[in-house]
């Protein structure tokens, strides 16, 4: 598989590039992204062939079909990390929650959120490429809560890769913070910032373009890379579970092979939904991809009105913080696929300079041919959490946003797969509030309260966090980040 660029080629970058180049240096010409030049048509024979396959067998054949320049032994090692999930024989359970609604649980990995689905194998692939090239890479990550723990977990003690993770001190849940500050490995550095997530993210962007910082890295022979969700190395692992979830419905005799379904995705940076889009493009029988947002509803407005409008907008904090985002980076890949590089560049440059773009009516209709969207506010989300709980299913606030979108957008009577992106343990205060009305409680009390109410146990990896020693205790002003990182390197 070869990769081309969403904003066209600048005459300096190669006209097309390999998978490994695209993941080591993820930023393309004119600030664009890498996209597959073409995708294979899997067709029904591929799906039928894998009805009896395990998750790993499906994944390994799908990646082989995509023909990426990663050695089979490295792919095998990367996929073996799914063996650490709760049930190695089925890392992604799909369970019935309502008559036509099935939940695909993407959170059974080590950090209890869906980021593990891609970051776990991605860590192996990136580290192996770095070793092969004999180079040291620095991964900088700014996190609002789920990416940080998942990135630290996957890169810990891996050769040739160091990770610096910036988080807003006081801006994450206790569980998320503990998942980061208790990570102990010589190649990891976690830095709390006095400020919010935007401060952490803009500090990171400044660093990436800082002359002195880049010169210091060059002097130490260290290359910069990124593990955020625009990296295609993450997207590729996010196509697999969409195919798997479809096959699960066939296996469970819920649908027959070839029957169309809805995919329903709680979305922020649009990586999860993009994986579903590529799976659909390769022939997965999908009627529509339903996008769920929270009060930061740029995606809902884009899909329903064709306008991406950030003028006067600010991120509002919500009960589904992993979706608190205004610039949803992976949408660019959809713009490219639907409208081509010239138009994608024009639209993205308009967003960057005017904080606004508008699709034509024709373009909007094309998008609406495959996507539908709605958003869910915090009170509605808690209502859905309580309703599902009363019917016997415990879910997190991100998953809950899908139920609103389902009620609005699943207009045909087809089966729907809702993607569950986090375990209840990561957002317990909101869930405790939804279930019992308790307010202002901290994570450990909320965890205990839910465990008691629902008569379930807290997973060991979460319970243990509260007694592990804090080894990453750096909390600084954002002006001092550069010096702190150089000290670590
Ligand atoms: C990252 C994340 C999302 C958003 O996924 P995108 O791929 O960025 O759209 C949703 N829910 C949870 C819990 C997440 O961690």
The DSSP secondary structure of 72-110, one letter per residue, reads HHHHHHHHGGGGGSSSTT-SS-EEEEETTEEEEE---ST
The finding on whether 420 has its CB within 6 A of some atom of ligand 1 is no
DSSP 178-236: HHHHT---TTEEEEEESS-HHHHHHHHHHHHT-HHHHHHHHHTTEEEE--STTSHHHHT
The best mutation among 109, 111, 114, 263 to test binding of ligand 1, ranked by most ligand atoms within 8 Å of the C-beta, falls on 114
Q: Is 281 helix (H, G, I), strand (E, B) or coil?
A: helix
The rounded Å distance from CA 132 to ligand 1 centre is 31
Sheet holding 474-476, edge to edge: 222-225, 136-142, 161-168, 188-193, 474-476
The rounded Å distance from CA 113 to ligand 1 centre is 8
Tokens 């290359």 belong to which residue? Answer: 223
Backbone torsion region of residue 312, taken as left when φ is above 0, otherwise alpha when ψ lies between -120 and 50, otherwise beta: left
Name the residue with the closest Cα to ligand 1, atom 14.
322
Q: Is 120 helix (H, G, I), strand (E, B) or coil?
A: helix
What global pTM score does this model have?
0.96
Atom of ligand 1 nearest to the CA of 266: 10
The reported pLDDT for the residue numbered 143 is 87
CA 112-186-219 angle, 5° bins: 120
CA separation for the pair 283, 440 (Å, rounded):
47
The finding on whether 267 has its CB within 6 A of some atom of ligand 1 is yes
The best mutation among 398, 402, 405, 426 to test binding of ligand 1, ranked by most ligand atoms within 8 Å of the C-beta, falls on 398
CA separation for the pair 454, 438 (Å, rounded):
15
The best mutation among 103, 104, 105, 113 to test binding of ligand 1, ranked by most ligand atoms within 8 Å of the C-beta, falls on 113
Atom of ligand 1 nearest to the CA of 427: 13
Bridge partners of 372, per DSSP, are 290
CA 443-178-225 angle, 5° bins: 130
CA separation for the pair 234, 121 (Å, rounded):
9
On whether the CB atoms of residues 204 and 142 are closer than 8 A, the answer is yes
Q: Structural domains in the chain?
A: 76-113+233-466 (3.40.50.1100)
The reported pLDDT for the residue numbered 281 is 98
Residue numbers in the chain where pLDDT is lower than 50: none
Residue 422 tokens, joined: 């986090």
Residue 229 tokens, joined: 């969700």
The finding on whether 404 has its CB within 6 A of some atom of ligand 1 is no
CA-wise closest residue to 328 among 277, 270, 368:
270
CA separation for the pair 227, 23 (Å, rounded):
9
CA separation for the pair 217, 137 (Å, rounded):
10
The reported pLDDT for the residue numbered 227 is 82
The finding on whether 397 has its CB within 6 A of some atom of ligand 1 is no
The rounded Å distance from CA 286 to ligand 1 centre is 21
Strands of 307-423, DSSP E: 307-309, 356-358, 371-375, 416-420
The finding on whether 234 has its CB within 6 A of some atom of ligand 1 is no
CA-wise closest residue to 36 among 299, 336, 258, 297:
336
pLDDT in tens, 260-305: 999 999 999 999 999 999 999 999 999 999 999 999 999 999 999 9
The rounded Å distance from CA 134 to ligand 1 centre is 33
The rounded Å distance from CA 398 to ligand 1 centre is 8
On whether the CB atoms of residues 136 and 160 are closer than 8 A, the answer is yes
The finding on whether 398 has its CB within 6 A of some atom of ligand 1 is yes
The finding on whether 143 has its CB within 6 A of some atom of ligand 1 is no
The finding on whether 401 has its CB within 6 A of some atom of ligand 1 is no
The finding on whether 323 has its CB within 6 A of some atom of ligand 1 is yes
The finding on whether 145 has its CB within 6 A of some atom of ligand 1 is no
Residue 149 tokens, joined: 């723990």
The rounded Å distance from CA 309 to ligand 1 centre is 21
- Residue 317: count of CB within 10 angstroms of its CB: 14
The finding on whether 111 has its CB within 6 A of some atom of ligand 1 is no
The finding on whether 239 has its CB within 6 A of some atom of ligand 1 is no
The rounded Å distance from CA 114 to ligand 1 centre is 7
The reported pLDDT for the residue numbered 165 is 95
The best mutation among 176, 271, 323, 419 to test binding of ligand 1, ranked by most ligand atoms within 8 Å of the C-beta, falls on 323
CA-wise closest residue to 353 among 83, 54, 30, 61:
30
């Amino acid at each position: 598989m070869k990769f081309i660029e969403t904003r066209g080629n600048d005459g300096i970058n190669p006209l097309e590039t390999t998978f490994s180049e695209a993941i080591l240096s993820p930023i393309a010409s004119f600030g664009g992204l890498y996209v597959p030049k073409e995708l294979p048509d899997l067709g029904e024979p591929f799906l039928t062939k894998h009805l009896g396959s395990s998750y790993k067998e499906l994944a390994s054949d799908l990646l082989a079909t995509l023909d990426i320049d990663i050695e089979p032994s490295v792919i095998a090692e990367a996929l073996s990390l799914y063996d650490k999930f709760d049930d190695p024989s089925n890392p992604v359970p799909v369970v019935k929650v309502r008559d036509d609604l099935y939940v695909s649980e993407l959170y059974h990995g080590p950090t209890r959120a869906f980021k593990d689905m891609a970051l776990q194998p991605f860590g192996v692939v990136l580290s192996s490429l770095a070793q092969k090239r004999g180079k040291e890479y620095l991964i900088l990550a700014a996190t609002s809560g789920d990416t940080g723990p998942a990135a630290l977990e996957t890169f810990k003690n891996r050769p040739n890769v160091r990770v610096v993770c910036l988080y807003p001190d006081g801006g994450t849940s206790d569980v998320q913070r503990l998942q980061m500050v208790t990570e102990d490995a010589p190649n990891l550095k976690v830095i709390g910032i006095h400020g919010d997530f935007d401060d952490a993210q803009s500090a990171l962007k400044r660093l990436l373009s800082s002359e002195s910082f880049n010169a210091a890295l060059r002097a130490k022979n260290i290359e910069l890379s990124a593990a955020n969700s625009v990296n295609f190395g993450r997207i590729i692992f996010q196509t697999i579970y969409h195919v798997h979830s479809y096959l699960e419905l066939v296996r469970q005799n819920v649908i027959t092979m070839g029957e169309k379904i809805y995919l329903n995705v709680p979305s922020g940076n649009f990586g999860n939904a993009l994986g579903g889009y590529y799976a659909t493009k390769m022939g997965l029988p999908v009627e529509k991809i339903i996008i769920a947002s929270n009060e930061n509803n740029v995606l809902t407005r884009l899909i329903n009105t064709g306008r991406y409008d950030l003028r006067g907008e600010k991120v509002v904090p919500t009960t589904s913080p992993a979706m608190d985002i205004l610039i949803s980076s992976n949408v660019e890949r959809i713009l490219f696929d639907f409208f081509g590089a010239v138009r994608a560049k024009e639209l993205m440059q308009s967003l960057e300079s005017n904080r606004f773009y508008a699709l034509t009516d024709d373009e909007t209709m094309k998008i609406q041919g495959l996507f539908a969207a709605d958003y869910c506010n915090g009170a509605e989300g808690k209502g859905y959490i309580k309703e599902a709980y009363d019917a016997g299913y415990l879910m997190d606030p991100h998953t809950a946003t899908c139920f609103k979108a389902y009620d609005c957008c699943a207009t045909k009577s087809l089966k729907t797969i809702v993607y569950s992106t986090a375990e209840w343990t990561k957002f317990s205060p909101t869930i405790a509030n939804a279930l019992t009305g308790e307010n202002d409680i901290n994570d450990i009390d909320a965890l205990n309260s839910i465990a008691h109410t629902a008569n379930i146990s807290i997973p060991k990896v979460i319970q243990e966090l509260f007694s592990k020693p804090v080894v990453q205790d750096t909390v600084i002003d954002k002006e001092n980040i550069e010096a702190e990182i150089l000290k670590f390197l």
